[in-house]
Structure 1
Amino acid sequence: MLSTAVRKISDLALSTNAMRRAGLFDPLRLDHAAMSFVNVSRFGPFAGIVMHTAQTRPDNPALVDERGQLTFGEVEALSNQVARGLAAHGLREGDVVALLARDHRGTVLALSALGKLGVRAVLMNTGFAKPQFADVAAREKIKAVLHDSEFVELMSAIPAEIPRILTWVDESDNVDPSIPTLDSIAAGRSPDQLAAPQKPGGMVILTSGTTGTPKGAPREKVSPFITAQLVDRIPLPRNSTMVVAAPIFHATGLSQFGVGLALGNRMIFQQRRFDPEQTLANIERYRAEALVVVPTMLQRILDLPTETLGRYDVSSLKVIFAAGSAIPGDVVTRALDHLNNSLYNVYGSTECAVISVATPEDLRLAPDTAGKPPVGIRIRLYDENRQEITAPNVPGTIFIDNPHGFKAYTDGRTKETIDGFMSSGDVGHFDSRGLLFVDGRDDDMIVSGGENVFPQEVEFLIANRHDVLEAAVIGVDDRDFGKRLRAFVVPGPDSKRDAEEIKEFVKTNLARYKVPREVVFLDELPRNATGKLLRKPLQEMEIGE
């Protein structure tokens, strides 16, 4: 017990120091620190951060979207008006609301307003089909939906009596003018601060749902010290500019948008849909020092023609924050070479939050590493008998001790834990330098002829070929071997589309049992809205013999 107490005190001191170094905590302005802590405690992390920055930097630019720029003071005042409008439409503390919106001011104002009312926000995936949307809405017992006009048709999946309020309106969507909007419900209402709710409403971040209906991971109350994990190994800018390409409904975009605001940064949104060239243009135009992406976005940027990449001045860029899925080694190396040696690869999950961070220095040593855990996080590996693994280069299931991880899904289920360490669901290993490597998902492992194969290793090898854009590997039933490997390859423009050549390439570089028996060429791989590979459609795909 004493050692645990000492460790917590040490972690607190290290976290405070990390926040001080980043500029989140000024020991000479304890009044600001106290005010920030009170705001976050009373209104939740998102609304609390907006309130604090409005109190300390009211005239500084907070965000830029298609409608222009808003200062921190304007975001605070407008969100107060929206909160009063939502209350007038019947929302009360403790209610649950679905938010289905792309990245723009409406999303920010809605999240801040809901926090001030003590209403829980469920961050819906903009890539949902009707069945997924209906299942999540029913499970979370939503009382209303705040959504962009492009999703009007999706609303037919839920009962008509559930109120709708539009967060963004495109004239081309021809929506019913009687549907209220954030602008209409806020009009004429007081911009003054609201009284704090009895309890912060918090947010529910959904898992990727790559194997079924996404689960909900609630974040009811978030410690300010979680930000230490995001800035300990990543030098995010302060009072500068960040381009946020990753969607806010995803933990990557949400966390970095919140931390970016807390650091006083101007946050630049895309024009609601990701465009790789527009991203480069925004970095140049606003002299952005940081870019927030999911890995597929980074790959799409680097896959632009050489002349396009060279057309934009991105010399201001100091940090690329990438998280959400594994990054192929060739993408890592190209990012380091072409984008100012600025890539930070963050390994985490919706449930566990941050797990580890690979700095540019780590990635130069090993492009496929997940790096090392930041302050306050501990990682253990356990074998299939749940005995701890301490030797290097021995794979095991990754377990994490992170005080800021979730406690349970909204349906009551939780993750496996051992001695306070929570399973990530991934298998990995440490090398002799203490760098973590993620070998693949525990449930993605393929047993072929009695040998264990993690598809990620084979995928990365194939994807590293100059004539391949992407690759995915799955296991399919086989009478003799139990499972055999099937590779799906997105060829580059100079590919010969020669399946035998790719098989021979794998055979030359990996063990024989890791060679795919089949290679199927596709124009693209199935992915969700945040770029995660969807293996189920590949499993269900009918392949001609």
Structure 2
Amino acid sequence: MDAPFVLATMARRGLLKPGPPHHILRQFRELGKWGYGLAGELRQAAARSPSRVAVVDSAGACFTYGELLDRSSRLAGALPVSAGDRVGVLCRNSADMIVVLIAIASVGADPVLVNTGLSASQLSAVTAAQGLKVVVHDEEFSALLSGFAGAIEINRTLAMIDSVPPVVLSPPPRPGRTIVLTSGTTGMPKGARRPTPGGFSPLCSIIDRIPLRGGVRMMIAAPLFHTWGFAGLQIALALRATVVLRRRFEPFESLSFMRDQDCTALIAVPVMLQSLLELPPELALPPLEIAAVSGSALPGGLATRFMDRYGDILYNLYGSTEASWASIATPADLRAAPDTAGRPPHGTAVAVLSPSGTPVPTGETGRLFVGNEMLFEGYTNGSGRELHGGLLATGDLGHVDEAGRVFVDGREDDMIVSGGENVFPSEVEGLLAGLPEILECAVIGVPDDEYGQRLAAYVVLRESATLEEDTIRSYVRSHRARFCVPRDVVFLPALPRNATGKVVKRDLPR
């Protein structure tokens, strides 16, 4: 990526403001020694702005960058791990979780971000598959880890920190590499090795499109164990921002906490926006300038409703654990085409290819491939994903319009063939989401004796709303081809979701 773009972006986002020369010198010296991972980004922030508040959480913790560095360095010296070890972190969002993550990285061990929604059997399998030496966990998960000898309750780390005098660490022989687990919505979660940024380029690719500024106060509502929540933390450290955290996202309480903490940015997943819209309109958001979402599909109707109420502040990043990012939709993109995934940011390439690997014409659906500086380094089990000309297969099908906007039509493994026609469940999901009576819905393919496969729609109605199955079928029939009409319509009190808000379709009743 070209230096002029990086410098211009950093200047626009307030990262090149003058400061004490010795602070600036120390800032770049720390980056040179430690690199651009968690440990290095914290050290550059502490060198430049040691007294700035780094993190505030709902449990009352409040650490400056200097304090965050001191606490993480002490813990690094006390944890029973060393360079190359894999260390699980099973925690909800908190300041202490950030201390733990940075401490692990500071000794050159690999933090493994563990989904808080895993069952005991899944957790046991993940612990074995990832070869975890230690798992640092919240108290609420103690029973799930009762059979694992390396479990350390996070409250114990407080005593560890107090037992170690102030320490200045040297860079480890190898940098710690973060491992993010895939969502596991279709099987056992796999560990994806995340690369360490090699400079400011990845940061600038994001903040060029999502206008986060240096020193911003941002609530990271997305779970920190998730790719998007973790990316929010990386961005925050690079921006010397103040991170605001709550253990759980509860709409009213989270809104109130954002207002109390003067947040101007929100990092969330789409289902959180839906829950905010369910609050009474008089409970307005604090004066947010940015609400950035990722992690699952953003229905076009939800994007429009959110911006109609709260203003054109919504940004949608389309990416994955393996690909990092592929495209970013700005408010202007979402106004022009509410169901778009946006455009590739600077330094990113997106290609739509046929099954044979040739580009498809503009507007036609094909397999989505993406290339950028932060493609994952493979799964921890030694497997990888398909590459074509240096571009990584996302596993999604989609198309690009004449304006260069990317649209995700569905997962490759979700598309069904009904009576010889290709049908994308996500297309019908987006259509049904526009009905005012429907709060949320999921659409999947099911076997059909006549057509091979047909769609089934699972619908959650808004409180006090009523809707008949035939009304839903008629609505789809009036807007789409007959093979898009769901054979089955099932009303549910709620959709089964994992801890990141994704619908777990295997748990839908059949």
Partner of residue 239 from structure 1, selected from 203, 215, 230: 215
CA distance in 2 between counterparts of 1:431 and 1:334 reads 23
How far 1:39 sits from its partner (Å)? Answer: 4.4
How far 1:338 sits from its partner (Å)? Answer: 1.7
* Alignment root-mean-square deviation, CA: 1.7
Match of 1:23 in 2: 14
Q: Counterparts in 2 of 1:138-217, with a 5 A limit?
A: 138-156=128-146, 159-160=147-148, 162-168=149-155, 181-217=156-192
Match of 1:5 in 2: none
- 1:150-173 superposed Cα distances (whole Å, 9 cap, x missing partner): 0001103xx44x2222224xxxxx
- 1:232-287 superposed Cα distances (whole Å, 9 cap, x missing partner): 101113223111111100111111122112212211111x1111112221222222
Pairing 1:290–2:262 present: no
8 Å Cα contact 2:55/2:63 also seen in 1:
yes
Match of 1:261 in 2: 237
Partner of residue 45 from structure 2, selected from 49, 53, 66: 53
CA distance in 2 between counterparts of 1:406 and 1:234 reads 22
8 Å Cα contact 1:346/1:357 also seen in 2:
yes
8 Å Cα contact 1:93/1:201 also seen in 2:
yes
CA distance in 1 between counterparts of 2:109 and 2:262 reads 37
Q: Return the TM-score normalized by structure 1.
A: 0.90
CA distance in 2 between counterparts of 1:221 and 1:183 reads 28
8 Å Cα contact 1:317/1:340 also seen in 2:
no
Match of 1:173 in 2: none
Q: Counterparts in 2 of 1:429-444, with a 5 A limit?
A: 429-444=399-414
Partner of residue 70 from structure 1, selected from 47, 63, 77: 63
Match of 1:359 in 2: 330
CA distance in 1 between counterparts of 2:350 and 2:284 reads 40
- 1:462-521 superposed Cα distances (whole Å, 9 cap, x missing partner): 111000011111111112211111111001124323000000000001111100011000
Matched letter for residue 169 of structure 2:
L
8 Å Cα contact 1:39/1:52 also seen in 2:
no
How far 1:402 sits from its partner (Å)? Answer: 1.0
CA distance in 1 between counterparts of 2:84 and 2:285 reads 48
**Residues paired across the two proteins, number:** 505
> Secondary structure, in 3 states, of the residue corresponding to 1:397?
strand
Q: Return the TM-score normalized by structure 2.
A: 0.96
Pairing 1:394–2:371 present: no
8 Å Cα contact 2:195/2:375 also seen in 1:
no
Matched letter for residue 216 of structure 2:
S
Ranges in structure 1 where 5+ consecutive residues have no aligned partner: 1-7, 169-180
Pairing 1:227–2:221 present: no
CA distance in 2 between counterparts of 1:502 and 1:39 reads 60
Match of 1:37 in 2: 31
CA distance in 2 between counterparts of 1:312 and 1:459 reads 28
8 Å Cα contact 2:218/2:265 also seen in 1:
yes
How far 1:25 sits from its partner (Å)? Answer: 4.9
Matched letter for residue 221 of structure 1:
T
CA distance in 2 between counterparts of 1:32 and 1:449 reads 66
How far 1:397 sits from its partner (Å)? Answer: 0.6
Distance 1:414 1:26, change over 3 A: farther
8 Å Cα contact 1:284/1:312 also seen in 2:
no
CA distance in 1 between counterparts of 2:180 and 2:457 reads 32
Matched letter for residue 498 of structure 2:
N
8 Å Cα contact 1:15/1:375 also seen in 2:
no
How far 1:460 sits from its partner (Å)? Answer: 0.9
Match of 2:115 in 1: 125
Distance 1:19 1:165, change over 3 A: same
CA distance in 1 between counterparts of 2:63 and 2:310 reads 29
Match of 1:514 in 2: 484
8 Å Cα contact 1:347/1:370 also seen in 2:
yes
CA distance in 2 between counterparts of 1:258 and 1:276 reads 24
Partner of residue 450 from structure 1, selected from 404, 408, 420: 420
Match of 1:178 in 2: none
CA distance in 2 between counterparts of 1:340 and 1:278 reads 21
Pairing 1:83–2:76 present: yes
How far 1:27 sits from its partner (Å)? Answer: 9.1
Report the more deviating stretch, 29-38 or 416-425.
29-38
CA distance in 1 between counterparts of 2:15 and 2:4 reads 14
Match of 2:395 in 1: 425
How far 1:68 sits from its partner (Å)? Answer: 2.9
How far 1:13 sits from its partner (Å)? Answer: 3.9
Q: Counterparts in 2 of 1:376-387, with a 5 A limit?
A: 376-387=347-358
CA distance in 1 between counterparts of 2:16 and 2:37 reads 16
- 1:173-207 superposed Cα distances (whole Å, 9 cap, x missing partner): xxxxxxxx011111131222212110012110111
Matched letter for residue 529 of structure 1:
A
Pairing 1:311–2:283 present: yes
Pairing 1:114–2:113 present: no
8 Å Cα contact 2:324/2:374 also seen in 1:
yes
8 Å Cα contact 1:80/1:190 also seen in 2:
no
Match of 1:349 in 2: 320
Distance 1:459 1:357, change over 3 A: same
CA distance in 2 between counterparts of 1:13 and 1:216 reads 36
Matched letter for residue 261 of structure 2:
Y
Matched letter for residue 186 of structure 1:
I
**Runs in 1 of length 4+ with deviation above 4 angstroms?**
25-30
> Secondary structure, in 3 states, of the residue corresponding to 1:370?
coil
> Secondary structure, in 3 states, of the residue corresponding to 1:187?
helix
